[in-house]
Amino acid sequence: MATAEEVAKAAERRDIRGRWLLSAPALLVILLAATGPLLIVLVYSFLTPGPYGDVKWQFSLDAWTSVFLERDIFDDTLSIAAAHVTIFWRSIKLAIITTIATLALGFPTAYFMATRSEKTRDLWLFLITIPFWTNLLIRTFAVLQIIRNEGIINTILLKLGLITAPIQILYTDTAILLGMAYVYLPLMVLPIYASMEKLDFRLVEAGYDLYATRFQVLRRIIFPLVRPGVIAGSILVFIPALGAYVTPIVLGGGKNLMLSNLIELQFGQGRNWPLGSALSISVMIIVMVALLAYVRNAGSSGVRHG
Amino acid sequence: MAKNFSIKHQPGFTAVAATCFVVLYLPIIVLVLYAFNAANSTSEWGGLSLKWFRSAWQNTEVIDATLRSFQIGAIAAILASIFATMAALATTRTAPYRGLTFQYAAINQPLMVPEIVTGVALLIFFSRIKIFTGYSGLGYLIAAHTAFCIPFAYLPIRARLENMDLTLERAAADLYATPWKTFRRITLPLLWPGILAGLMLAFVISLDDVVITEFVKSGGQDTLPTYMLGQIRRGITPEINAISTAFLLLSVAIVTLFFFISRKRD
Amino acid sequence: MNWKTMATAMGLALLASTSLARADGALNIYNWGNYTSPDVIKKFEAKYNVKVTITDYDSNDTALAKVRQGGTGFDIAVPSQTFVPIWIKEGLVLETDPGKMENFKNVAPEWANPDFDPGRKYSVPWAWGTVGIVVNTDVYKGPANTWGIIFNTPDELKGKVNVVPEMNDVMFAATKYVGAQQCASDKETLKKVRDLLVAAKPNWIAMEYNTIEKMGAGDFKATSDWNGSALRQRLANPAIHYNYPKEGFGLWSDNVMVLKEAKNVENAKLFQNFIMDPENAAGLSAFHRYANGIAGSDKYMPADMKDAPEVIIPADVKEHGELQKLCSPEVQEIYTKIWTELQK
């Protein structure tokens, strides 16, 4: 006869098996069309570049050394790969600022949407996504129209007499930031909205009953409750921003590379696929470490249900 | 404030939200305006005209690409949000079990790689399959899009599930509802806003994709973004504005229709 | 109808729509974006009863990578002269022997036996052109027939110059500017090239492809550019002039080749022959705005191209032109390093 403990164990095993089955389709698609093929990239990072792109099947660690170190082209001295460090740092910096900016804008917006009457909430949800039914390239070009020297902002400022010459926004880091914040804003708003939408306002009421100020209510009650949404939103903005490809080209004028452009250069005109592969894996590792640290940190202090 | 104290009010939030909506729509308005621009360039204003709509309408290449974008986006977003919902149910509201972290990491993995890398990896991998099977249809693009859309759909759904109230589901179970019935009648409706948000995100992300599509596409499979990418070198015509405007209006029409149908049902 | 049923129905319809039947007589062209004249394609379709599909690429490297992996279903691709030898060497293209085709007699002598495809065993000329300097003469009136416009920018143009980020074109220009031969591999020259570029960059406003629109709007006052692009800019604004740098300017040519994995070889060959017809070649030029390398096409050319200084290289500068080659992998590797340092 099975003891109660064994029965419970069997039920738990059944539950876990069921859970694996549930996530199987997602895992399968990702394995086939995303993760699996990446093993190729891992292998490529240890090979020798082919003369005109692709690889030669010859083991080499050159790609990995040149991620971090560079041999000076002219005097053959080894030094830290300053160009790579600069590009990594610029990308990380811009991605962090973009995340903060979208959070600052997106949190109140999501809150506003979630506090509308139940009937109109879906409408607000659609309203916020509609601008994004045009693709990224087109949206980026639309931003360009606004910030360029002959664009709306400069024209209005000139007409008002606030400035005498157009402000050069286009082709600066500011332009990249504006563009990314614009492009990735819904990735922040939607997850926050999703977790805020069913926020229990009785808790908020209880807070006010206990003489909490509005700010205290926001910080101590609302924010902890929607933390999972904030985490999800930050991840969804940070990672694509780190890998932004189109925005630096269109709004930054392509003068300063970001990570994706650097990697693209290796797979394209640079014809150094192993280095491109090694750089990509480095990026993946950075992102994974950052992600784990962030989720662990943010998750442990969050309010957990269930 | 005192005379009309609302517990939902937070100072400045409405103003930020209003700014947000204005900022979101400003470029779109510019885009729509320029679609009606009579000038040949995308930078000067030459009066109102429908000529770009006419010329876009006659350009079968751009029409095909737009429809293809929409088609891939819709299929991939639907598949991705179904799979993501299932995965979210499997990975939330449970005591940690072996493989949970693995599942979480695996599902989010497509997020962590720059597009170009997935693009090249898929190019190499899918080419083998294309040669082996002789099939070079849209299936590859749909599979690739579904894969990178899953994490975008998964995160909002999971966020929604994570702090969902269990009481109702327990009550249903206590009333001898089958798990499926509980899911249909209780969990799904509660989860719906998360799924909707995930679906929207996935669709938008699929529409945006350039680089992966560029590497995976076979003959005759240009999407609007890859079509535009090809044009950047030779100058983009305002046709693109017209096509986007038409696409936008069409989407708005469909969404509005759905919105009213679902409202009627309630 | 319940809206969920409707959604399901829509989903099914979408899935069904993915499996479209292909016509029997077909031709799958893989070409640079916005480069293929729809009118000429329509004419070809009508003449041979073939359904043509066009798919775009945006760089030689992408096209090569994709075709090399295979399974793409393309019949025809249009690589540049620097890449033609690679495609041939890697066994990606069919030896269709255009040199023996009926219309080959029309190919201009200077393009009939090029170094990149001796005897024209594989390729047919599609378009050719030059890389030079475009300047808005409202802003800068001095001599502009020099790469100095981008490498030693005059004061009037500082902060208003764009450089088209085609690595090999920029390296060619810089190498010529320091007085060396193209693809020079000696360290001294390469160091000069690097120092020149690094010192020049602060004067550039951008490094991007979208020059037609930006020169038109005035975001740029000068840029390095291709000649066909320059022609379109001048037609929009007569103050914009194209200049052939005296230090030496690059010539390029894009060529139609039939892929080894092509399923419609016969149609592809017909197409190769078809575009060597002067009238059709002129039709292509009217769309892409470059010269085509077919003798006798002049009389069918659009009026604004017939004696355009961008399309017809003036006799006095012709000697400075030189067909660009692909440099050795070693030089290419150093170019990439310089390029990364330049764009960091």
pLDDT tier for residue A305 given thresholds of 50, 70 and 90: very low
pLDDT of residue A304: 39
Domain C130-250+314-342, CATH class in plain words: alpha beta
Residue B3's pLDDT is 43
Burial label, A117 (beta-carbon count in 10 A; 0-12, 13-18, 19+): exposed
- Chain C residues with CB inside 8 Å of B74's CB? 10-11, 14
| 3-class DSSP assignment, residue C226 | strand
Pairwise CA distance, residues C293 & C304, whole Å: 18
Distance CA B47, CA B37 (A): 6
| Of the partner residues B129, B137, B233, the one whose CB lies closest to the CB of residue C19 | B137
pLDDT of residue C19: 43
Q: Which of C283, C294, C280, C268 is nearest to C97 (CA)?
A: C268
Residue of C30, C213, C258 to mutate when probing chain B, most B C-beta within 10 A: C213
Looking at beta carbons, which residues of chain C come within 8 Å of A53? 61, 64-65, 68
Per-domain boundaries in chain C: 24-128+252-306, 130-250+314-342
Query: For C295, phi and psi rounded to 5 degrees?
Result: -70, 145
Give the model's pLDDT for residue A1.
55
CATH code: domain C24-128+252-306 is 3.40.190.10
Q: Return the pLDDT at B172.
A: 82
Partner residue facing C206 (CB), from A82, A254, A257: A254
Contacts of A31 in chain B (CB under 8 A): 106
Say whether pLDDT at B115 is over 90: no
Within 8 A by CB and 6+ apart from C69, the residues are B123, B124, B127
Contact C132, C231 (CB under 8 A): no
Identity of the residue in A52, A171, A249 whose CB atom sits nearest the CB atom of C64: A52
Domain assignments of chain B as residue spans, ordered by start: 61-265
Q: Which of B8, B208, B263 sits opposite A201 (nearest CB)?
A: B8
pLDDT for the residue numbered C314: 94
Cα–Cα distances in angstroms (integers) from residue B117 to residues A56, A187, A209, A268, A282, in the given order: 18, 22, 54, 12, 12
pLDDT digits (tens, 9 = 90+) for C246-279: 999 999 999 999 999 999 999 999 999 999 999 9
Residue B43, pLDDT > 80, answer no
For residue B235, the chain C residues in CB contact (below 8 A) are 34, 210-213, 229, 232
Architecture of the domain made up of B61-265: Orthogonal Bundle (1.10)
Q: Does C8 touch chain B (CB under 8 A)?
A: no
On chain C, the residues whose CB falls within 8 A of the CB of A262 are 340
Q: Is the per-residue pLDDT at B144 higher than 90?
A: yes
Regions of chain C with pLDDT less than 70 = 1-24
CA Rg value for chain A: 25
Half-sphere CA count of C250, side-chain side, radius 13 A = 29
How far is the alpha carbon of A114 from chain B, nearest alpha carbon, in Å? Answer: 10
Nearest Cβ partner of B113 from A141, A235, A284? Answer: A284
User: Residue C233: its pLDDT value, please?
Assistant: 93
3-state secondary structure of A148: coil
C340, A257: Cβ pair inside 8 Å? yes
d(CA C212, CA C230): 7
Chain B residues in contact with A19 by the CB 8 A cut-off are: 89-91, 94, 97
| Res B175: pLDDT | 85
Residue A74, chain C, CB below 8 Å: the answer is yes
CB-based contact, C334 to chain A, within 8 Å: yes
Position with higher pLDDT, A77 vs A269: A269
* C-alpha dihedral sign at C52, C55, C56, C59: negative
Q: Which of A50-64, A166-180, B248-262, C122-136 has the highest mean pLDDT?
A: C122-136
What are the tens digits of pLDDT across the range B72-104?
999 999 999 999 999 999 988 877 888 888 888
The nearest CA of chain C is from the CA of A168 a distance in Å of: 10
Contact B218 C73 (CB under 8 A): yes
Tokens found for residue A276: 């491109």
Q: Is B41 helix (H, G, I), strand (E, B) or coil?
A: coil
The verdict on ipTM greater than 0.90 is no
A54 touches chain B (CB under 8 A): no
Task: Decide whether C24-128+252-306 matches C130-250+314-342 in CATH topology.
Answer: yes
Chains linked to A by 3 or more Cβ pairs within 8 Å = B, C
Q: For B10-37, how does the pLDDT look when each residue is reduced to its tens digit (9 = 90+)? A: 888 889 999 999 989 998 888 888 888 8
Domains and CATH numbers, chain A: 84-300 (1.10.3720.10)
